[in-house]
Amino acid sequence: MSSPERIPNIAVNGLRAGIIGAAIFLLFLQSAALGGVPVMANGDQPAEGRVTVQLEEMWRIGGEDDEENLLGVINQVLTDDDGNVYLLDIQLVEVQVFDPEGIYVRSLGKRGDGPGEVRNAFGTLFLPDGNLGLVQGFPGRIVKVDLQGLPAGEMRPGGDDPSAGGFFVLRSAASMGNQLVLGGMKITRGDNSRSANHFIAVHGSDGMETTRYLEKTTVRDFGRSEISEKNEFFPVQGGWALGQDGRVFIGPARNEYLIDVYGPGGDHQKTITRKYESWKRTSAETERARELMMPYRRRNRSSINIVVEPTERDILSMRVDPEGRLWVLPSRGIQQQEEGIHSTWDVFDGSGTFVRQVAFACEGDGQKDTLFFPGGGLAVLVREHSEAMFAFLGRGADNPAGEDDDEDADARPLEVICYKILP
């Protein structure tokens, strides 16, 4: 098994600005070159301190008492220029659209093999041609529908024949302008083993790969009854982000607060680091991690040695805002938060300087409820998201092809709350 391979507003007074400027200058002096790539080494404290941002509720749906809106497992949120909110339901295999008032408008896509249909959906995105893309895990493809739900074609990044040369699996996707970035893996099966080549790469409108940012090959020997969380790690989900300027930010290491920044053409521009103490797992968190790693359909599950890490992964999620600032949710950002605070994010400016921490004030628990930021000044909270995903993934943990085993996943009723981010 190989490690990831890198492929080539707050006003301050004059005195404080001078101090911050000197601190940033010192950071640049401390920057080192890693293989010729500049390293922006940040300390553990942001230059401009910590602020709290209030979230104002606009509407909510779901929960025990909502008999009008049926929700399965919501795992991604988008918004359009008109303020409509698109909720990807990976259990019902559809995208539910709600207007700015929270009124249901329509559903896009559905389960199936026909035009505009997918067997499973692991992601959704607005494509450069204006259509909505439904990311099917296996066989890996992107099914297009227009915003009225009519079929609009498809894209097969792994080729037309899934039986030729292994299985092509998609796990994440993002589009900005004319740039389409995909994360997934190519699986090849041997007599008693499985080889997976994981990747994050740019693909053209024809589905062909043009630039590969990161890759890693893992081999699972079915004759050895051991699965390692560290060895299996690859930052496909939550571990990378695409900016509006085409730059791609990737956290390649599980146990290190490190972010590689790539240009649209694949050039490794810089590496951002931050002094950080990993969150040590509790016994309950360790057992939960072990259960998520456990193959669901393998016989003699008790004989498999699951090796999990003593700490949570340092970087849980990343996003880039329209101003080009990188927002990072670290493992400590959802642990031991103050009352009324859901999560605390680290914010880096365009140069890679750790400028501030932002705590989001709303109901919910960051360890159980997930906050999505679809854009348009909105934040969407999915309550009971962690438990729903645990139940959903637990039914197919040894099914990398992501076939129809998840259809009957038993998840708690979710509640979705749409907030406006206050200045």
Q: What are phi and psi of 109, to 5 degrees?
A: 80, 165
For residues 13-42, give the mean pLDDT.
57
Note the pLDDT of residue 35: 66
Note the pLDDT of residue 124: 96
pLDDT grade, residue 64 (50/70/90)?
A: confident
Note the pLDDT of residue 347: 98
List, edge to edge, every strand of the sheet that includes 240-242.
33-34, 37-42, 268-274, 258-262, 248-250, 240-242
Q: Is the pLDDT of residue 180 over 70?
A: yes
Given a contact cutoff of 8 angstroms between Cβ atoms, the answer to whether 279 and 231 are in contact is no
Note the pLDDT of residue 394: 66
Cα(274)–Cα(242) distance, integer angstroms: 20
Note the pLDDT of residue 302: 59
Tokens for 281, please give them. 């797992």
Q: Supply the mean pLDDT for the chain.
A: 86
Q: Is the pLDDT of residue 190 over 90?
A: no
For residues 26-45, give the mean pLDDT.
73
Note the pLDDT of residue 377: 96
Name the pTM for this structure: 0.87
22 against 291, higher pLDDT: 291
66 against 251, higher pLDDT: 251
pLDDT grade, residue 282 (50/70/90)?
A: very high
Cα(87)–Cα(95) distance, integer angstroms: 5
Per mean pLDDT, which of 201-205, 291-295, 313-317 is the most reliable?
A: 313-317
Cα(166)–Cα(401) distance, integer angstroms: 11
Q: Is the pLDDT of residue 7 over 80?
A: no
pLDDT grade, residue 3 (50/70/90)?
A: very low
Q: What is the secondary structure of 282-329 as a DSSP string?
A: PHHHHHHHHHHHS-SS-SSGGGSEEE--SB--SEEEEEE-TTS-EEEE
394 against 213, higher pLDDT: 213
Neighbours of 305 (CB within 10 A): 9
Q: Which amino acid is at 235?
A: P
Helices (H) and strands (E) in the chain, counts: 4, 31
Note the pLDDT of residue 16: 41
pLDDT tens-digit map of 328-376: 999 999 999 999 999 999 999 999 999 999 999 999 999 999 999 999 9
Of the candidate CATH numbers 2.120.10.30, 3.30.70.1070, 3.100.10.20, 2.30.42.10, the domain formed by 33-421 belongs to: 2.120.10.30
